[in-house]
Amino acid sequence: MSDDVVAPVDTAAPATHEPPARDITDGGPEMVQFLDAEGNRVPVTEANSAYAEFIQDVDGEELRALYRDLVLVRRVDAEGHALQRQGELGLWPSLLGQEAAQVGAGRAMRAQDYAFPGYREHGVAWCKGVDPVNLLGMFRGVNHGGWDSNENNFHLYTIVIGNQMLHAAGYALGVQKDGLVGSGDADRDTAVMAFTGDGGTAQGDYNEALVFASVAHSPVVFFVQNNHWAISEPNEKQFVIPPYQRARGFGIPGVRVDGNDVLATLAVTRAALDRARSGQGPTLIEAFTYRMGAHTTSDDPTKYRIAAEVDIWKKKDPIDRLRKHLVAQGLADDEWLAELEAEADELALRIRTACQQMPNPPHEDMFENVYVDPHPLVERERDEFVAYQASFEED
Amino acid sequence: MASAPQKMTIAKALNAGMRAAMEADPKVVLLGEDIGKLGGVFRITEGLQKDFGEDRVLDTPLAESGIMGTAVGLALRGYRPVVEIQFDGFVYPAFDQIISQVAKMHYRSQGHLKLPMVIRIPYGGGIGAVEHHSESNEAYFAHTAGLRVVTSSTPEDAYWMIQQAIASDDPVVFYEPKRRYHERGEVELGDSAPLALNDAVVRAEGSDLTLVTYGPMVKTALIAAQAAEAEGTSVEVVDLRSLSPLDRPTILDSVVKTGRAIVVHEAQTFLGMGAEVAALIQQEAFYHLEAPVLRVGGYNIPYPPSRHEEVFLPDIDRILDAVDRSLAY
Ligand SMILES: Cc1ncc(C[n+]2csc(CCOP(=O)(O)OP(=O)(O)O)c2C)c(N)n1
């Protein structure tokens, strides 16, 4: 039995302490999937039938565009990793393996939709138009978030697990108060998306966010990337009932989607965002996926997980499967794939160069933006600091 | 029975101290994120789950309020929970439990209830981390009646103080100077701790000026003291060890002797530990002072991006600059 398929509770039976057997690779029959690991279109199932209409319009061009996103996002991530290894970044949280979950979700969003990420959402940032270079500043230690959130409706990365879920609920409440739902105008109606991991579902903030959003019927989609690990802890340490099923307990629909299938995440997220924009309230999406790499560059996964598990998930790779599909459909040939590789190389080079050239901010900048209005203590300390630094130059 | 002193790091000393406490008392249980197989992100609990089992070393869900509140329940049930908070900046989800419940339970119950628990927090900066991973939030807890707050700056202290904290019937917030985890020193694994948990200690003797400090800044202060010595100024270094309560006699004896004091810590100075220590000195040793008590600490801004760390954190130069200012009076 999969750990995520939950047997009905038999109240007569004594509770046992034994956790259910763990098969973390099977998302179960309720998981929405359109492309299997071999790149074949999955026939109509009970789980996916309701979502097929949301990808009806996805033509060859759009499929190729999704593939391009996946490849470029993976390259951004690989470059972040390499830059950390070369000492250019202090840390990098890799999204390797989660590209399809993020690109599917990100591409389902419209420009007016607002995203609240954690710290691993490089793929969503990409789809929202944030320059990948801007993601690096925080990990290089030159800033705490190097982009204007309102420019692309993509909030700053949130390190404290769960915090952003409530921000999303609140932002959605604001959208709702502004009357920006339910008009049917595709450019006007607005939804909010919040991203967290499976570990994040244990936080109080996460659970309070679900309560607030469900009670208010706010236009928000909670997107849980169940990548099966919260640093060293397997997700059975975070929940017994998986997130998509727990959603029901909050009074909102929950859906599990194959997070390694970009078509499925696109369809499911489009459906949820439509619901939100049309005023039908929140949805919880659980993207069933896997963290292929280490938690971050500071982490050593060999301490706690077996390699065999990773090997199984390698065969479910989100990029391989879409490539197989494109090739089989005659939508991609070697030449096109090579061009894309070249584009990825160029992107990587641009990121690398920009990162290496990213200047250290002048130290007195650290006193900026502590307050909006002048604050005598901060101003005095800045002045003292500047004078003190200058005293070294005089020597 | 005294055994030969051993060289070890602060990290290993904490691990050895917890191991000793767990062997001595089966009621000691550890709770935290990633503390089992991984041994914690800093490996402080390495090997403890393997040796004591999952019933005593619990990998908890990712929820600090949950961890803290559960520890309260365990303590009420007669256990001695030792909680690991992964980083300083992640204690805030548990803040309410600590301030509202942990700190006040003994008082509210008119002494009927005890919460013998330890909250371990790796703290401070200087490791090039992203935000929320470098904070010094000891003043919030030291400000709260009902909590004991301590920090160790040497392996020997780490080894003994963690055991004393676990043995304490009061809740203890135990700050670990994360950038010093790998500093090595001698640990005397004798029968009992050389100092009480509340004692401050003079780390270097001097006659012209006292540096009062704790945790990660002790080493910096000692190096600064040596540098001052080379220039003819004799500096005494007091390591507070306990931030609440403060060891008033040790602080005051030193300042009465030297007539000058500077408090050094990483935390922002405004309403920080330095404010309390300076107030104490000025109140109790006013006529012995040759100069006002100075403070060297973090600036009053959020912990900045790591590229600013070297100038945000007090360093030897800033301490020596303050020494000069003090001597100028
Ligand atoms: C409140 C809080 N506690 C602890 C941490 C340290 N931490 C960073 S990431 C992480 C695991 C997160 O796991 P999950 O939510 O599953 O997301 P993933 O990293 O797998 O994407 C932990 C414990 C944190 N960032 N915030």
Residue of B129, B299, B312 lying closest to A90 (CB–CB): B129
CA distance B171 to A22: 38
Atom of ligand 1 nearest to the CA of A162: 1
Nearest-Cα distance to chain B for A157, in Å, is: 11
Question: What is the per-residue pLDDT for A395?
Answer: 61
Nearest-by-CA chain B residue for A370: B301
What one-letter code names the amino acid at A388?
Y
Please indicate, yes or no, whether residues B182 and B205 belong to a single structural domain of this protein: no
Tell me whether residue B1 is in a domain: no
What residues have CB less than 8 Å from A198, skipping those under 6 apart? A224, A225, A226, A227, A228, A229, A230, A235, A238, A239, A243
Please indicate, yes or no, whether residues B30 and B170 belong to a single structural domain of this protein: yes
Chain A residues with CB inside 8 Å of B302's CB? Answer: 370
Q: Mark out chain B residues that contact chain A at CB-CB < 8 A.
A: 33-34, 36-39, 41, 59-63, 65-66, 89-90, 92-93, 128-133, 270, 299-302, 304-309, 311-312, 318, 321
Please indicate, yes or no, whether residues B125 and B242 belong to a single structural domain of this protein: no
Tell me which residue range forms the domain holding B42. 8-187
A159 lines ligand 1 (CB under 6 A): yes
A224 lines ligand 1 (CB under 6 A): no
Chain A residues with CB inside 8 Å of B129's CB? Answer: 90-91
Please indicate, yes or no, whether residues B103 and B170 belong to a single structural domain of this protein: yes
Nearest-by-CA chain A residue for B297: A381
Q: Would you place residue B328 in the very low, low, confident or very high pLDDT band (cuts 50, 70, 90)?
A: very high
The total number of structural domains in chain B stands at: 2
CA distance A391 to A386: 9
CA distance B212 to B59: 37
Residue of B90, B305, B312 lying closest to A144 (CB–CB): B305
- Catalytic annotation on A304? yes
Tell me whether residue B194 is in a domain: no
Average pLDDT over residues A246-268: 98
Atom of ligand 1 nearest to the CA of A291: 20
Nearest-by-CA chain B residue for A296: B41
Atom of ligand 1 nearest to the CA of A163: 1
Cβ–Cβ gap A231/B41 under 8 Å? yes
Domain locations along chain A: 49-356, 362-395
CA distance A76 to A345: 10
Question: What is the per-residue pLDDT for A22?
Answer: 59
Q: What are phi and psi of A359, to 5 degrees?
A: -75, 150
Please indicate, yes or no, whether residues B182 and B257 belong to a single structural domain of this protein: no
* Residue pLDDT, tens place only, B254-313: 999 999 999 999 999 999 999 999 999 999 999 999 999 999 999 999 999 999 999 999
For an interface test with A, the pick among B130, B133, B295 (most A C-beta atoms closer than 10 Å) comes out as B130
Cα of B167 from ligand 1 centre, angstroms: 31
Residue A2 has pLDDT above 60, yes or no: no
For an interface test with B, the pick among A231, A368, A392 (most B C-beta atoms closer than 10 Å) comes out as A231
End residue of a domain, out of B162, B187, B212: B187
Please indicate, yes or no, whether residues B132 and B175 belong to a single structural domain of this protein: yes
CA distance B107 to A114: 47
Q: Would you place residue A3 in the very low, low, confident or very high pLDDT band (cuts 50, 70, 90)?
A: very low
Tell me whether residue B195 is in a domain: no
Please indicate, yes or no, whether residues B218 and B84 belong to a single structural domain of this protein: no
Nearest-Cα distance to chain A for B8, in Å, is: 23
Residue A41 has pLDDT above 50, yes or no: yes
Q: Would you place residue B28 in the very low, low, confident or very high pLDDT band (cuts 50, 70, 90)?
A: very high
The beta-carbon contacts of B272-277 under 8 Å, at least 24 apart in sequence, are B272/B139, B272/B297, B273/B138, B273/B139, B273/B142, B273/B214, B273/B240, B273/B243, B276/B142, B276/B246, B277/B212, B277/B240, B277/B246, B277/B251
Cβ–Cβ gap B34/A231 under 8 Å? yes
Q: Would you place residue B2 in the very low, low, confident or very high pLDDT band (cuts 50, 70, 90)?
A: low
Average pLDDT over residues A89-100: 98
CA distance A126 to A73: 7
- Catalytic annotation on A380? no
Mean pLDDT of chain A: 94
| pTM over 0.90, yes/no | yes
Nearest-Cα distance to chain A for B258, in Å, is: 26
Peptide bond into A132 cis (omega under 30): no
CA distance B313 to B301: 12
Question: What is the per-residue pLDDT for B4?
Answer: 80
Atom of ligand 1 nearest to the CA of A196: 15
Residue of B63, B92, B130 lying closest to A202 (CB–CB): B63
CA distance A259 to A122: 15
Taking a C-beta distance cutoff of 8 angstroms, is the pair A246, A81 a contact?
A: no
Cβ–Cβ gap A233/B129 under 8 Å? no
Question: What is the per-residue pLDDT for A66?
Answer: 98
End residue of a domain, out of B135, B164, B187: B187
Task: Tell which one of A102, A138, A161 to mutate to probe ligand 1, the residue whose CB is within 8 A of the most ligand atoms.
Answer: A161
Nearest-by-CA chain A residue for B89: A160
**DSSP classification of residue B62:** S
Residue A15 has pLDDT above 60, yes or no: no
Cβ–Cβ gap A230/B302 under 8 Å? no
Residue A20 has pLDDT above 60, yes or no: no
Question: What is the per-residue pLDDT for B292?
Answer: 98
In this structure, the strands spanning B184-187 and B148-151 are: unpaired
Question: What is the per-residue pLDDT for A7?
Answer: 47
Report in angstroms the alpha-carbon separations of A31 from A229, A321, A325: 19, 17, 20
A291 lines ligand 1 (CB under 6 A): yes
Chain B residues with CB inside 8 Å of A377's CB? Answer: 270, 300
CA distance B316 to B237: 13
Residue of A233, A365, A377 lying closest to B270 (CB–CB): A377
Closest to A363 (Cα-Cα) out of A382, A377, A338, A336: A382
Cα of A121 from ligand 1 centre, angstroms: 13
* Residue pLDDT, tens place only, B46-73: 999 999 999 999 999 999 999 999 999 9
Is the domain spanning A49-356 CATH 3.40.50.970? The answer is: yes
> What percent of chain B lies above the pLDDT cut of 70?
99
Residue B233, both tokens: 């100024």
Q: For the packed helices A318-328 and A99-108, what is the interaxial angle rounded to 10 degrees?
A: 70
Nearest-by-CA chain A residue for B55: A17
Please indicate, yes or no, whether residues B181 and B244 belong to a single structural domain of this protein: no
Please indicate, yes or no, whether residues B72 and B112 belong to a single structural domain of this protein: yes
Tell me whether residue B40 is in a domain: yes
Whichever domain contains B218, its CATH number is 3.40.50.920
Tell me whether residue B3 is in a domain: no
Question: What is the per-residue pLDDT for A393?
Answer: 83
B259: left (phi over 0), alpha (psi -120 to 50) or beta: left
Residue with tokens 């200690």: B201
What residues have CB less than 8 Å from A383, skipping those under 6 apart? none
Please indicate, yes or no, whether residues B167 and B280 belong to a single structural domain of this protein: no
CA distance B71 to B97: 10
Count contacts between A and B (CB, < 8 Å). 113
In this structure, the strands spanning A254-258 and A283-288 are: parallel
* Residue pLDDT, tens place only, A379-395: 999 999 999 999 998 66
End residue of a domain, out of B164, B187, B210: B187
Question: What is the per-residue pLDDT for A16?
Answer: 52
For an interface test with A, the pick among B307, B313, B317, B321 (most A C-beta atoms closer than 10 Å) comes out as B307
A200 lines ligand 1 (CB under 6 A): yes
What one-letter code names the amino acid at A278?
S
Strands laid side by side in the A114-116 sheet: A114-116, A192-197, A220-226, A283-288, A254-258
Please indicate, yes or no, whether residues B12 and B117 belong to a single structural domain of this protein: yes
Residue having the nearest C-alpha atom to atom 19 of ligand 1: A230
- Catalytic residue list of B: 133
What residues have CB less than 8 Å from B270, skipping those under 6 apart? A377, B300
Whichever domain contains B61, its CATH number is 3.40.50.970
Residue A33 has pLDDT above 50, yes or no: yes
Residue B93 has pLDDT above 50, yes or no: yes
